[in-house]
Structure 1
Amino acid sequence: MLEIANLSVSYGKHRAVDGVSLSVAMREIVVILGANGSGKTSLLRAAGGLQPMATDARIALAGQDLRRLRAHQIVEAGLALVPEGRGIFGELTVRENLQLGAFAKRARAKEAENLQRVLTLFPRLAERMNQAARTMSGGEQQMVAIGRALMSAPDILLLDEPSLGLSPLMCGELFGALEHVREAGIGVLLVEQNAKRSLAIADRGYLIENGRIVGQGSAAALRDDPAVQRAYLGVATDKH
């Protein structure tokens, strides 16, 4: 289980994340919903070791303290981040991008098995293994980014806005794939603007505003909450 407690992130005098606590279990999809600028990306970057955090924060995976580890050590511990914008190597082929994901010691023994899992999850990649990643569509590049993260054999996968800019069809494929990731025993912490689709596949969710958690619950409870419907699902609710 990933456990985050009292996590705060500041940029100068601006507090982007303020005392956030949350958890993600294995075989669970947890979504974080919030407006742009609410602190979602800063939260994920801090958890992934890419952003400094306040010293009194706690981040642990299966009981192992991750706070003082570097980003590559955090991957070795079992936490993989797919950042907004994907961060793939455009000049490299699909195969080379995926192989880079298996650099962690924990992943090397089962590299072939993990590759087969990724290609089963994203059959399009099997057809494009020798294609330069930059020549692919946005949705296909997102598949490469997620596949590369899965090649590190993570226990928990962090995803920052994976559906951003994708077509409705590609979004459907992406969210379907995340359900299969959960079935494989991996926990998913998902930051996503598409609240309707993410709540449809999630087990639980958190609401974040101005860097603070302002609500949480099961995905079903959040879907049925009139305030959530108004703010995130585009549903007009009766005020009377």
Structure 2
Amino acid sequence: MTYIEHLAELRKRLIVVIVFFLGFSILCFGWSKQLATFLVSPAQPVDFVFLSPPDLFMTYLSLSLYAGFILSLPIILYEVGMFIWPGLEKRERRAIFLSLLLGALLFIGGAAFGFFVMLPYMLRFFLGFGTEGIKPMISIRDYLGFVGQIVLSFGLAFELPVVTTALAGLGIITSAQLKSARKIAVLLIFIVAAILTPPDVISQLLLALPMLVLFEGSIVLASLVEKKSKSKVQEAA
């Protein structure tokens, strides 16, 4: 492909992504009230408020765009993959395909863990500071922003095996390097858990323990990728 042909191909795929993103966002806007009701369910019986006449509308709009992006993410990943696919070798194609598939599953798992397990616990912790004379009055915009932060943080945290497996598949890191860095990784995991969770041991462990399991799983996956690559080299020889 020439430079102009690459730009034309990129333009075509960007148009597809934008069309699906806007389409899903418009569809989600019609269900924004139901979606907001579902997202506030872990905080019941707290009553939420909006602080200006257009505040709730803008919140629904932001929520619809966010949901539209999530629903269009498979299309985005597909279009990105198809754009770079011709320039990849067979080994690189397989590594990227498996990484995208595993990444999608782990992100969904991490997001679900954050919303259904961690969010209710964190809400109980923070709202527990209220007293008889101090009642929570939370903006719906601030609450949904908090929920989005938790869901995104845990979804990204669960991507650890994907990153390590992809890097191992491309020969950038090895399972031996991961094993040698285990002590540093454990320390970093607990630091990240302390930052992302309330300042108590239980919530930190609820995040740190799954991440430790994911790190150990990353070592196993990297080792399997290395063995498969070595066997293929031996067969080719």
Question: Do the two structures share a fold, i.e. TM-score over 0.5?
Answer: no
Higher normalized contact order (CA 8 Å, seq sep 6+, divided by chain length):
1
TM-score by length of 1: 0.24
Q: Which has the higher helix share?
A: 2
Q: Which has the higher strand share?
A: 1
